[in-house]
Structure 1
Amino acid sequence: HCSGYVQRHLYFYWQQPDTIVIERSNIILDGAGFTLQAASVDGIRIQYQSNITIKNLKVDAGPSSFGIYAYYSQNITIFGCRVYSSGTGVSIYYTSYCQIYENIIERSGIGISITGSEVESTGHHNLIRNNTVTSNSNYGIYLGGYRNSVYQNNVTGNDRGINVGIDFSNVCENIITRNKYPNGDGISMGTGIDGCNVSYNYVAENSWGLILGGGLGYCSSHIPNTLKGNVIVNNGLLNFVLSATGLNYHACTMRWMFQTRLTASQFIIGLKGRTILFR
């Protein structure tokens, strides 16, 4: 159950058992350090609203539920919260212009997830910064929207670190370590994405350091991705993986602008189902 206070409290309600549903815009929910303990349901749900702030709250939701769930909304701010034991800690679903910062997201399935669509113009311009995302059994941070930014987070001890699935994402200045079991990706980039910037990250002691997906088509028809200033060291299996298929291998290598440092450098290229290892 939750203690604390809610400004403009007439515009939220409890949904049994123990979900807070915010159904008006311009709301501030200040948990004052108390805990919302949901009984195997979502902790907080926001639907079709804007200008919502959730702060200073601990959320303990169920393993098949969302800790905090924003659905087709805008301008959601989440800070100073601790979310744990959820299916997904924070889910930004077809929601844009959010700020998620200075939170602890731990012991959930996925830590922070963004889902969006360029066709619907949703799931974009969200900022995830300065969070601790740890001990989650799936992705630490999953970017399924576009034009989102992930800065200065500590992503450690998850199954996977940061996954980027859609174009124009910025992943910069993060510390990504000890993401190991059972998959152990540090940073993984999806196939055929464009215009992403992956720079100045520290990626160490994961099973796999950095995995780049293959390109589609020719370089001239796409906006190149940038890989710059990263330190990728001491990852258990490989520091660097370049994955491609057939002729797309050439487009993939051209479309990545490499300016990074690989200590004890090693990388792997998959081509037509074969594996070519460079050390």
Structure 2
Amino acid sequence: MKSIIQLDQVTKEFKGKPAVDDLSLTINAGSVVALLGPNGAGKTTAVSMMLGLLQPTKGKIRILDGHPQDKAVRNRMGAMLQDVNVIDGLTVLETIDLFRHYYSNPLPLHHLLHISGLESEKNKRASALSGGQKRRLGFALALAGDPELLFLDEPTVGMDITARQQFWETVRTMAAKGRTIILTTHYLEEADSIADRIVVINKGRLIADGTSTEIKASTNRKTILFTAGANLTEDQLSSLPSVGEVVWSGRKVKITSPDTDEVIFAMIQRQLDIKDIEIHAGGLEDAFQFLVQQ
């Protein structure tokens, strides 16, 4: 499989402090990769360097067999960043058409309006759009050049449910056609449903890399959900074997454990005051929280 992105020991420092720290990463063509991490982890800085908007302090970056700032490379990339800046006075249609002319093989104007869901707003001034509509405009601009490589930085923030569903349907269609997609998102269920690879960074460093299934399995954490009776105490739960985190929400309790069988056995053996027991395999959010807290 041909690599389309290569980061080799990349570091980016601001005022002597690393935002990205010795990051090495190879991404193959046709991949859908979710770049995850808590706020301040270095995700946006890493994406900005891949786009050529920032230069690394150390290390090398190659995109599409060239430098991120090469005109030929930029012609094959698209990016939807968190902030969408529009040109005063231009309508939605004029804004999209302007961006189309920056590329050698742009998508048709009517197609971009359709996939962004902005057909009814095409004659509205872009500056008058709502926050969610501006996000959809940003998506249209990112796709204007029919990119081989697409960056999506927190793409669905501010979108309503309908717009979000349409957005991900379009992204899935692009992925099925072999496009390479790099996305950052705080909505982990979105990353879980669409990405074939999850990359987790924290404090600028790579801490996990694999499929969603591999990431979830690597933490070996399952959860037990149940309703606590009036006689159950926190001390009784914390004294159970193999118990990790215990979270109370009213009378509902969630226990995280690497060995749920041992916990359940001890609960029954001690005749704890509980009912409505459920056991769940750890989800991506559980794995993510575990990884970034290490």
Answer yes or no: same fold by TM over 0.5: no
Name which one, 1 or 2, has greater alpha-carbon Rg: 2
Judging by fraction of residues, say which structure has more strand: 1
TM-score (norm 2): 0.27
TM-score (norm 1): 0.28
Q: Identify which of structures 1 and 2 has the higher relative contact order when contacts are C-alpha pairs closer than 8 Å and 6+ apart.
A: 2
